[in-house]
Amino acid sequence: MKHAQELRIIPLQFEKEIQPGDSLVREVVSALRRTKTAFRPCDILVVKHKIVSKLEGQIVDLAKIEPSRSSQKWAQQYGLDARVIELALTQGRRIVRRKCGVLITETRHGFVCANSGVDVSNVDGGRHALLLPDNPDRSAARLHRDLKKHLNLLIPVIITDTFGRPWREGLTEVAIGIAGMKALHDYRGCRDPHGYPLRASVDAVADQLACAAGLVCGKLNRVPACIIRGFAYEPGRGTARDLIRPARTDLFR
Amino acid sequence: MKHAQELRIIPLQFEKEIQPGDSLVREVVSALRRTKTAFRPCDILVVKHKIVSKLEGQIVDLAKIEPSRSSQKWAQQYGLDARVIELALTQGRRIVRRKCGVLITETRHGFVCANSGVDVSNVDGGRHALLLPDNPDRSAARLHRDLKKHLNLLIPVIITDTFGRPWREGLTEVAIGIAGMKALHDYRGCRDPHGYPLRASVDAVADQLACAAGLVCGKLNRVPACIIRGFAYEPGRGTARDLIRPARTDLFR
């Protein structure tokens, strides 16, 4: 029987706003130093996608967006910003639902979320919108590699966004980019303590880690990242694509 | 600016299987004592529903279930146990999807999940099935009250189950019963550090706490509960009903 160990979630408070071209590793290491600890071999770094998008310049001047007639009409009906709707439509590859003032799309990456992940909060007060990173797995891999160079440690990296969900109220964090660990833990083939085979037991550990991080990375404080210490992750070439259900097994397309 | 504090998730390893009529508070306190800590004022107790269901005798002898012809046929087609399917159908009030060997229902409580939450793993090797607690909010409230009596502390309680999700692979934990804290944190009306008003910002904190707990409460170890220490929850009369999206705003019915 495996013994469970305590988990710690250590918030990383940044001193300044991230700017395009900043060194994220340097910010992370200096934030961690202020908490009077250093990286340890079993740590996982979880980062909100917003600072990654800012760093990578995934930012759009809303003044330059010309919304279509249909975006204008729909935005007006629900008191929304037509430019954000227009941008969301260009960032999606499929509209999943457009109803009651909510636009759910499938992004180029395959994520199903509101407004293709286009966000105006926590940017600069409404003039610019932030897009998802172009390739969040690649962004995670870059940070993973930079941490290795800097610290000589293999620290898995998870990049998160905040998604809504069908049937349930409220938003939760999900993993949209992963490097250095598996996204899913597969218990199929294992048996429970009574010897009963576990059938439907694949845990979305990267999403659960994202949620745990969401408890310390708030919207109103400047904590865009945290360390999760003590989780027995499965090392390997993880990808956020493993968390996207393929069309053929998706009951809700 | 609120400063974020570190979160700790302390697994509670039970010495024995819970039996109907056991004192859950006693088991929790003695498990906590073995970790060489005691409850503190800002702790939250998270408990897997299975031990609550066992305690409350929410257990069904599968030998006594007579599956209908249609359950038999469907179960045979996908290599499932027809008795479990039959039981799941009686526990649901609406079939949401029945496709590709997966049965998604809305339970009496209003939760949308596979097989109405009926589970055969981690019970007794396949002879009995476990149902959800009759009223998980009430179960949480009872535990909350018992903890207060025992410790003279107001410890919020969350009871969890493991649900699948549309569009995303893998299971995550969700809150199905809550006492002593709010299920949602509502940031609407607040402004981000740039002064931009937060619109769609209601966090499902109880579900994120459930996910965080899921990282230490495993399927293969006997850790059916944990303490989450350091989260600034909003005290109050929470209920898991707040996490269920009402039919009128549900885009995916």
CATH code for the domain in which residue B73 is found: 3.90.1660.10
What are the residues facing B162 on neighbouring strands?
B173
| Residue A113, amino acid | C
Cβ–Cβ of A207/B211 closer than 8 Å? yes
Residue B251 lies in a domain: no
Q: Which residue is it, tokens 């770094």?
A: A45
Question: Alpha-carbon distance A20 to B11, whole Å?
Answer: 40
pLDDT value at residue A178: 98
Question: Alpha-carbon distance A39 to A157, whole Å?
Answer: 13
> Is B189 part of the contact surface with chain A (CB cutoff 8 Å)?
no
Same domain, A122 and A65: yes
**Judged by CB atoms within 8 Å, which residues 230-249 of B form the interface with A?**
231, 242-245, 249
Q: Which residue is it, tokens 């499938």?
A: A106
| CB distance A209 to A44 below 8 Å | yes
Same domain, A148 and A239: yes
Chain B: residue nearest A128 by CA? B196
Chain B: residue nearest A170 by CA? B204
Same domain, A65 and A102: yes
| Residue A69, amino acid | R
pLDDT value at residue B36: 87
Domain termination site, one of A112, A129, A146: A129
Same domain, A68 and A91: yes
Same domain, A233 and A144: yes
> Is B51 part of the contact surface with chain A (CB cutoff 8 Å)?
no
Q: Which pLDDT band holds residue B2 (cuts at 50, 70, 90)?
A: low
The answer on pLDDT for A57 being more than 60 is yes
Q: Which residues of A touch B9 (CB under 8 A)?
A: 6-9, 212
At a CB cut-off of 8 Å and minimum separation 6, what does A222 contact?
Answer: A13, A14, A17, B1, B193
The answer on pLDDT for A190 being more than 90 is no
Q: Which residues of B touch A245 (CB under 8 A)?
A: 166-169
| Residue B40, amino acid | R
Same domain, B153 and B231: yes
Same domain, A16 and A75: no
Residue A252 lies in a domain: no
pLDDT above 90 covers what percent of chain A?
77
CATH code for the domain in which residue A225 is found: 3.30.1330.100
| CB distance B238 to B156 below 8 Å | yes
> Is A219 part of the contact surface with chain B (CB cutoff 8 Å)?
yes
Chain A: residue nearest B113 by CA? A167
Residue A2 lies in a domain: no
Residue B13 lies in a domain: yes
Please measure the distance between the N-terminal and C-terminal CA atoms of chain A and give it in whole angstroms: 40
| CB distance B10 to B35 below 8 Å | yes
Residue B3 lies in a domain: no
DSSP state of B103: E
Q: Which two tokens stand for residue A166?
A: 């069908």
pLDDT value at residue A123: 78
pLDDT value at residue A154: 96
pLDDT value at residue B139: 97
Average pLDDT over residues A131-142: 98
Where do the DSSP E strands lie in B100-247? 102-107, 112-114, 128-130, 157-163, 172-179, 185-186, 202-203, 225-229
pLDDT value at residue A210: 98
Same domain, A227 and A103: no
Q: Which residue is it, tokens 């009529």?
A: B21
Average pLDDT over residues B235-240: 95
Residue B252 lies in a domain: no
Q: Which residues of A touch B217 (CB under 8 A)?
A: 4
Cβ–Cβ of B173/A208 closer than 8 Å? yes
Cβ–Cβ of A169/B192 closer than 8 Å? no
Average pLDDT over residues B46-50: 96
Average pLDDT over residues A95-99: 93
Chain B: residue nearest A125 by CA? B196
> Which structural domain, as residue segments, surrounds residue B122?
59-129
Same domain, B187 and B242: yes
ipTM: 0.95
Cβ–Cβ of B192/A231 closer than 8 Å? no
Domain termination site, one of A109, A129, A149: A129
Residue A250 lies in a domain: no
Where do the DSSP E strands lie in A132-193? 157-163, 172-179, 185-186
User: What is the count of structural domains for chain B?
Assistant: 2
Q: Which residues of A touch B7 (CB under 8 A)?
A: 8-9, 212, 215-216
> Is A5 part of the contact surface with chain B (CB cutoff 8 Å)?
yes
Q: For chain B, give the longest Cα–Cα distance.
A: 62
> Is A199 part of the contact surface with chain B (CB cutoff 8 Å)?
yes
Q: Which residues of A touch B204 (CB under 8 A)?
A: 165, 168-172
Q: Which pLDDT band holds residue A47 (cuts at 50, 70, 90)?
A: very high
Domain termination site, one of B129, B155, B172: B129
Select from A54, A42, A44 the least CA-distant residue to A12. Answer: A44
The answer on pLDDT for B104 being more than 90 is yes
Same domain, B222 and B240: yes
At a CB cut-off of 8 Å and minimum separation 6, what does A68 contact?
Answer: A86
Q: What would the pLDDT profile of B159-182 be if each residue is shown by its tens digit?
A: 999 999 999 999 999 999 999 999
The answer on pLDDT for B239 being more than 80 is yes
Q: What would the pLDDT profile of A14-26 be if each residue is shown by its tens digit?
A: 988 888 888 999 9
Average pLDDT over residues B51-61: 94
Q: What would the pLDDT profile of A193-247 be if each residue is shown by its tens digit?
A: 777 776 668 999 999 999 999 999 976 668 999 999 999 999 999 999 999 999 8
Cβ–Cβ of B220/A97 closer than 8 Å? no
> Is B102 part of the contact surface with chain A (CB cutoff 8 Å)?
yes
Question: Alpha-carbon distance A14 to A24, whole Å?
Answer: 10
> Dihedrals φ, ψ of B209, to 5°?
-65, -40
Count of other CB atoms within 10 angstroms of residue B71: 22
| CB distance A187 to B169 below 8 Å | no
Same domain, B29 and B72: no
Residue A181 lies in a domain: yes
Q: Which pLDDT band holds residue B199 (cuts at 50, 70, 90)?
A: low
Question: Alpha-carbon distance A109 to A198, whole Å?
Answer: 31
E strand or H helix that includes residue B142: helix B136-151
Q: A8, A9, A102: which to substitute to probe chain B, counting the most B Cβ within 10 Å?
A: A9
Select from A184, A155, A163, A136 the least CA-distant residue to A43. Answer: A155
pLDDT value at residue A1: 43
Distance from CA of B118 to the nearest CA of A (A): 13
pLDDT value at residue B1: 43
Same domain, B206 and B151: yes
Chain B: residue nearest A115 by CA? B200
pLDDT above 70 covers what percent of chain A?
96
Question: Alpha-carbon distance A207 to A105, whole Å?
Answer: 20
